[in-house]
Amino acid sequence: MKRVTILFLSLLFLLLPYEAFAKQKVPILVYHSIDEFKGHGAKELYVTPTNFEKQMIYLRDHGYTLLTFERWRDIDKVNKPIFITFDDGYKDNLNAFAIFQKLETESFKPAGTLFVISDFVGRSNRLSQVDLKTMADSGLFSVQSHTATHPDLTKIKDYEYELKVAKDKIQKITGKPVIALAYPYGKYNPKVIAETKKYYEFGLTTIPELFSEKNVKNELYLLPRMYVKYSTALDEFTRIVEGK
């Protein structure tokens, strides 16, 4: 009987596709503005509310689990994990908040991560302290750091201000831990990673690929992200998240 069981398991291993044993690939998406493009700024950094809603409905209807970095260790516990991130803290991210609220049900819990520039909070085109507190308290958004002034971190000297002071300011606004940093312009080097590790558990790049655990040094400070742009049609979006 034992011999038959071993033979069965051996055949099963051979017959299952390679993907069944491959490392899970996790999409980490990056957005900027969720709004209609009105001629200001870079058009490709916008995604219309209509398109964003269609993308979130796709994720809902295809069994994705939206996570924030507080739940990083759940990527191997949930069905089809994905991270939705927003850089710069634009005021129009309130459109994403409204869409999340609209789509939230007992079975679907939207979640996103705002990477905000602490010194820009409250500017006319940026989220205010009240906005950030409201979004964080809703449970639909995690508010994390995009530094204090959005510099190229590979060219600065005052890391404490850009990393620690920014973190402290954001935590004071939301009352919740800040554990992740998105590198401005996606730029980093060994010095940047070393400084980031003093204050954060995660560092996010703009390396355009899905995350797959490789057990390399500083892996959690080299997290890749895939851009979603104005020109990203739904069929392209599906290819991005499905890794095709």
Dihedral, CA of residue 53, residue 59, residue 65 and residue 70, to nearest 10: -40
Report the range of poorest mean pLDDT among 10-24, 121-135, 208-222: 10-24
Q: What is the pLDDT of residue 5?
A: 46
Task: Measure the CA angle with vertex 141, ends 228 and 96; round to 5°.
Answer: 45
CB 29 within 8 A of CB 204: no
Sign of dihedral through CA atoms 209, 150, 43, 46?
positive
Strand (E) or helix (H) holding 67: strand 65-67
User: Is the pLDDT score of 38 beyond 90?
Assistant: yes
Q: What is the pLDDT of residue 80?
A: 97
Q: What is the pLDDT of residue 3?
A: 56
pLDDT band at 24 (very low <50, low <70, confident <90, very high): confident
Non-local (6+) Cβ contacts of 197 within 8 A are: 203, 218, 221
Q: Residue 17 and residue 15: Cα distance in Å, rounded?
A: 6
> Where are the chain's structural domains?
24-242
Section 2-22 average pLDDT: 46
Q: Residue 232 and residue 230: Cα distance in Å, rounded?
A: 6
Q: What is the pLDDT of residue 84?
A: 99
Q: Residue 30 and residue 20: Cα distance in Å, rounded?
A: 27
pLDDT band at 244 (very low <50, low <70, confident <90, very high): confident
Residue that is written with structure tokens 């969720």 in the block: 34
User: Is the pLDDT score of 184 beyond 50?
Assistant: yes
User: Is the pLDDT score of 172 beyond 80?
Assistant: yes
Q: What is the pLDDT of residue 45?
A: 97
Q: Please write the tens of the pLDDT for every residue from 58-114.
A: 999 999 999 999 999 999 999 999 999 999 999 999 999 999 999 999 999 999 999
Q: Residue 43 and residue 26: Cα distance in Å, rounded?
A: 27
Residue that is written with structure tokens 């940093």 in the block: 181
Global pTM reads 0.90
CB 46 within 8 A of CB 33: yes
Go through 174-210 and write b for each residue having 16 or more CB atoms within 10 A of its CB, e for each that does not.
beeebbbbbbbeeebeeebbebbeebbbbbbbbeeeb
**DSSP-assigned beta bridge partners for residue 28:** 83
Section 115-133 average pLDDT: 98
Distances 57 to 30, 138, 237, 238 between C-alpha atoms, Å = 17, 20, 12, 11
pLDDT band at 12 (very low <50, low <70, confident <90, very high): very low
Q: Please write the tens of the pLDDT for every residue from 50-62.
A: 999 999 999 999 9
**DSSP-assigned beta bridge partners for residue 204:** 182, 223
Q: Residue 78 and residue 74: Cα distance in Å, rounded?
A: 6
Residue with the bigger pLDDT between 4 and 37: it is 37
Q: Domain 24-242 has what CATH class?
A: alpha beta
